[in-house]
Amino acid sequence: MNNQQETVRLTLRSVSQLPDRRQFLHWAATGAIMIALGGCAYEVAPEVDQRRAENEKLPDGTTRLPPGQHLIRALKPMGGEEGDPSPSGFRLKVHGEVKTELELTFADLLALPQTEQTCDVHCVTKWSVFDSRWTGVRLAELAERAGVKSTAKHVVFEAAHGYTANVRLEEALRPTVLIAHRLNGEPLAPANGPPARSLVPHLYFWKSAKWITGIRFQAADEPGYWETRGYHNHADPWKEERYG
């Protein structure tokens, strides 16, 4: 058996140990492949879909798939120190440069106007997922209820164990930026930061903090966890703003 045959045999054996073997056979039949990394597997889009994505344009004329990205079918688990996933333990503090500080339970979050949107997400590790469907509350809705002051210019997402991610205020207030609690019609999976996370789809995905605990509005910028470790402060995927 040559090296290539052995690699294929090992890959198939690993995939056969996944929970749903029939799903793998379906992927294989449609031309998709599985990549196993670090004990996790994810589905790579068929090459024809990759080529189509590279040629598809957004309304502003830019390519839908940012440069350097490859298309996969579902979000990869990207790690992070887990927070409390229970809805009963959820508290979201909206504070800083606001007229009225808020502290929301999960029930409070669900009682607010809900938005369902379909959007693409892009990870700095060079994978993208098209047409993911999210449900949550627009950050702009929370900003309005808290009465953000004119002095605020930046937003810091606060998450479990001190994780933070910073976003410019005008970008955080875009209608596509959510505090999301459902993905593709289901509650967030354990790897996706339940019970709620931020979603900032037009920036690299590390800005979409999982296990969110707070939204802090402030006058001065404050680079977050990854930004202070060499990652770009803005993180535009179409400009490949990966590193600072």
Look at the pTM and tell me if it is higher than 0.85: no
Q: Partners of 86 in the beta sheet?
A: none
CB 157 within 8 A of CB 215: yes
Spatial CA neighbour of 76 closest among 109, 39, 104, 103: 39
Domains in the chain: ranges and CATH: 3-65 (no CATH), 87-239 (3.90.420.10)
pLDDT for position 46: 66
What is the full per-residue pLDDT of the chain (244 aa) written as tens digits? 444 343 333 333 333 334 344 443 344 444 444 443 333 345 566 676 888 888 899 998 999 999 999 999 899 888 888 999 999 999 999 999 999 999 999 999 999 999 999 999 999 999 999 999 999 999 999 999 999 999 999 999 999 999 999 999 999 999 999 999 999 999 999 999 999 999 999 999 999 999 999 999 999 999 999 999 999 999 999 999 999 8
Give the pLDDT of residue 80.
87
Within 13 Å and on the Cβ side, how many CA atoms surround 103? 3
